[in-house]
Amino acid sequence: MALWRLAPRTNTMWWCVEGKDPWQPPHDRVFGFVVRAADEEAARWLAHGAAGEENGAVHGVSPWLDGSYSTCEPIRDEGTAEVLLVNFRHSPW
């Protein structure tokens, strides 16, 4: 099995548009995953099952299952040491 990195697509016209962006407002939502799965489909379903309120936030869409809302890339074993995922959200309070 491979590791997969999933993240929201931020290069779209709906990004940060209230009512069109599943990650708005930016609380009680997951903004990234690293999962172990056999393939991309299985990785997306695992992320979907562990998601927050981004699931269904826009017309019942699951952004983790829909490639137009999120990326899902395999993480290769080769390469230099690196931080793979930091998902920090500043509190508005």
C-alpha to C-alpha distance for 28 and 14, rounded to whole angstroms:
19
Q: Tell me the pLDDT band of 91, cut-offs 50, 70 and 90.
A: low
| pLDDT tens digits for range 32-77 | 999 989 999 999 999 999 998 898 888 788 999 999 999 999 987 7
Q: What is the pLDDT of residue 18?
A: 75
| pLDDT given for residue 46 in this prediction | 93
Q: How far is CA 84 from CA 34, 47, 59, 73, 79, in A?
A: 8, 16, 31, 12, 12
pTM: 0.80
The pLDDT score that the predictor gives to residue 28 is 85
Q: Is 35 helix (H, G, I), strand (E, B) or coil?
A: strand
The stretch 21-26 carries a mean pLDDT of 86
